[in-house]
Structure 1
Amino acid sequence: MLTVLVANIKGGCGKTTIATHLAAAFATAGQNTLLADVDRQKSSLGWVDRRPADAAPLTGLDWSKDLATPPKGSGRLVIDAPAALKTRQIEELVKLADVIVLPVLPSAFDEQATRRFLDKLEELKPIAKNKKAVAVVGNRLRARTKSADRLDEFLDGVGHKVVTRIRDTQLYPDTAATGLSLFDLKGKRVGDYRADWEPLLSYIALVG
């Protein structure tokens, strides 16, 4: 089983959007997919509950109190981590993961928090010895804005692979409200935005 941890100590950086879209991408590709929600707000589990019966199936796991052993026979496990993780929690989740996906928004506050989180990650042996892959994702970018330019400068110096930059669009909140993702929809406009995810999916596939 390939396990993807979506994490950052900064709240509101799009972890749940990233986690649910990765889970949907795996499910629509025919993978037996689990989505574990570690956050007590249970936003990912709410998304799973809203998911239509005719959408590609996936299973939600409530890990908000304790981490549990995933069911056998699963192909992909996506873990949606809460903000403000303590060091012990980071260690436990990183131990489970094959890939750590770290979203960051174009904001000075997010950049500062992301740097602190990366510093914590780099203290862990699996990260320091390059035994765990870290994929940094620029999230909710609006092209040709000063904030996007500043984020690009920040990402160039993070010391980890910046896999992709995901553009902002109303499609994300619209699909979240119905338990869907861009991978569940068709159409040219959706396809254009879905292309932002291909480098991340390819990176994860290489790790697997």
Structure 2
Amino acid sequence: MQRILVLNSKGGCGKTTVATNLASLYAGYGFTTALMDYDPQGSSMRWHSQRPRDNPVIHGVRAWQRSSGAQTSAWQLRLPPQTERVILDAPAGVSGQQLVNYVQRVDTILVPVLPSPIDIHAATHFIKDLLLIGKVRTAGVRVGVVANRAKKNTLVYQSLERFLKSLRLPLLGTLRDTQHYVHAVERGIGVHELWDRRVEEDRRQWINILEWLEDERVEMTAQQRHAP
């Protein structure tokens, strides 16, 4: 089982976009996939509730919910047998010991970042916390960054690239600022599941991210290759 945490201390950076699209991508490739929503806003589970029944199955867990007692309901966190990939959508504002606890439970962390001066500044401090407080490199946890709603040919985007290069962190993909993601989330699907040739570039970005996560080359599925 591989556990992938989607995390950034700042809200509104696209955590749910990354978590839901990644879960649907893994499910589409035949992995037994679970999506655990730790954010009390419940955005990932709202997306999950809209997912069509004939699309590849994703096991959804409302991990933020508490029972009447002090402990999280065990049945809510129980995963299907042979679960292969678990995507954790973390809440905003994770820091200190809570950050350490998350890091200790996962194999990989994806950090979505908006390419704006404010977001890059916030991401700078958060990634330093991951390295110093979370000790991700000591723990053997891989960290990759995904630029969200980005335009590559901008000074801000170039600033993000320089920052990541200075920390030796990979920029895995660039999610375009497009309504395709809006249309997908409304239907409970991933952008790569849209039957529209105009999302070809978006599909390829997700293939790049998947290849880094799996550390191997990934071919598009037949559905992706023959989308009209």
> Does TM-score exceed 0.5, indicating one fold?
yes
Counterpart amino acid of residue 63 in structure 2: W
Q: Mind listing any 5+ residue stretches in structure 1 that lack a counterpart? A: none
The alpha carbon displacement at 1:160 in A equals: 1.6
SS of the aligned residue for 1:8 comes to: coil
Residue of structure 1 in register with 2:51 after alignment: 51
Q: 1:120 is matched with which residue?
A: 129
**CA RMSD of the aligned region, Å?**
1.9
Q: Are positions 1:91 and 2:100 aligned together? A: yes
Amino acid at match of 2:146: V
Q: Find the counterpart in structure 1 of residue 215 from structure 2.
A: 206
| Local SS of the residue matching 2:173 | strand
Quote the residue 1:28 is aligned against. Answer: 28
Identity, % of aligned positions: 34
- Report how many aligned residue pairs link the two structures: 207
Distance 1:168 1:175, change over 3 A: same
Q: What residue identity is the alignment partner of 2:8?
A: N
- The structural deviation recorded for 1:191 is 1.7
Query: Are residues 1:163 and 2:163 paired?
Result: no
Of 60, 69, 81, 1:72 maps to 81
1:124, CA displacement in angstroms? 4.3
Matched, 1:3 2:17: no
Give the Å deviation of 1:69.
4.8
The answer to whether the 8 Å contact 2:99/2:134 transfers is no
Give the whole-Å Cα distance in 1 for the aligned partners of 2:31 and 2:25. 9
List per-residue Cα deviations over 1:157-197 (Å, max 9, x = no partner): 34322222222211011110111111222332112211112
In structure 1, distance between residues paired with 2:95 and 2:136? 17
> Contact 2:145 / 2:170 at 8 angstroms: preserved in 1?
yes
Amino acid at match of 1:75: E
Distance 1:206 1:144 in 2: 28
Deviations 1:117-139 (A, max 9, x none): 11111124651326110011122
Of structures 1 and 2, the larger Rg is shown by: 2
TM-score normalised by length of structure 1 = 0.91
Out of 81-90 and 36-45, give the one that drifted further.
Answer: 81-90
